[in-house]
Chain A
Amino acid sequence: MSDQEKVEDPKSQTHTKTKKTRSIKDYYIFIIIGIISLLIAIGLCINYIRDIRHQPFPKPRETDLTLIQEWMTLPYISRTYGVPMPVLEEKLEFDAEQNRNSSLQNIAKKKNESSDQLVSEVQTIISEFQLTHPLQSDPDQ
């Protein structure tokens, strides 16, 4: 087939057009993915800046009572906040030693209370104890 015939050949023109159409479609897909990803990144950045403005940066080694969460166990709370286990046991009126391996959430279920209620009780017990037995400062700080 001569060069002129090849140029005029409708089958080769159709094949070239199909290849071009496919690359244009690929181009659109990558551009769309790129734009969506960058929009998500910008959204994350805006949220992050907004959060920083409303939330102070955490202080190292703060033992704020509001940090007590339902996933914590009583031995962990005892160590972190410097409250002996017998004190927690007595005030909670609960066999803490038998339930050393239970989270506050599980203990609340056994006591037929909500997790928030139990967390609040524990916070009250700790704050009362710390009034008479202040937590010793960390020698590393």
Chain B
Amino acid sequence: MSEIFNYILTLVLLYGYVSIVVLVFFGSLGIPIPITGLMLAAGSFCVDNTLNIYLLIPIAALSALAGDCFGYMIGKRYGLPIVTKILRRMKLTDVHMESMNRNLERWGIVYIFVSRWLITPFGPPLNFVVGMNEYPFKKFFATALCGQFLWAFIYVYLGYVFGASWQALFDYLNDVPQFFAFTILGVGSLVIGWRRWKR
């Protein structure tokens, strides 16, 4: 485990829920904090009553949700001007943006939900994208809330079940979200490339 992660774990032992709130919030914004591993560790700390599992799950879920909403607001406020410049350079037009909007309207709930707990690397950038596309906030909030509670429950409970063995479990689970993320990115890029070639 890295030095930074070791330091984070000590902070959680010393400052408990306050450190969880801060770390999970900033992790959900996209700052590279290993919050999934942190949830495993925090779950294991519930075994010896350092933390309480019934408090930890809602606190972690709501902190992550707060980070998601903040990311959404940043996307909504600042996303379009920044991205428009980039899209023009890539020669993408309003037609492509409309296509993205339609895709989000149709599948947005699935993308948001799955990126909260399974394909977590996509979570922070997706918050920005849905905010930029003015995806309905209530829908985003409700979906992200469900996804984050599921995320917090899965990883905290796994940490609680495995106790001090959570570190070995972390080694097993660490690459799973990245595997799914790269697979989806790869398949998605090939599909888009094939459609363009067909045109």
Tell me the complex Cα distance, A58–B7, Å: 24
Tell me the complex Cα distance, A79–B157, Å: 19
Whether B196 pairs with A23 at a CB distance below 8 angstroms is: yes
Residues of A within 8 A of B (CB): 22-24, 26-31, 33-41, 44-45, 47-48, 51-52, 55, 57-64, 67, 69-73, 75-76, 79-80, 101, 103, 105
Whether B186 pairs with A34 at a CB distance below 8 angstroms is: yes
17 contacts between A and B (CB under 8 A): A23-B199, A27-B197, A33-B186, A38-B183, A47-B175, A58-B166, A60-B161, A60-B162, A61-B163, A61-B165, A62-B162, A63-B163, A67-B167, A71-B5, A73-B10, A101-B14, A103-B13
Q: How many contacts between A and B, using CB within 8 angstroms?
A: 134
Tell me the complex Cα distance, A23–B93, Å: 13
Q: Using CB atoms, name the residue of chain A closest to B163.
A: A61
The dominant DSSP class at the A interface is helix
How many B residues touch the partner, as a band?
Answer: 35 or more
Q: Using CB atoms, name the residue of chain B closest to A73.
A: B13
Determine how close the nearest CB of chain B comes to the CB of A56; give it in whole angstroms: 8
Which A-B residue pairs are the 7 nearest by beta carbons? A30-B193, A37-B186, A34-B189, A38-B186, A34-B190, A58-B168, A58-B165
Whether A57 pairs with B10 at a CB distance below 8 angstroms is: no
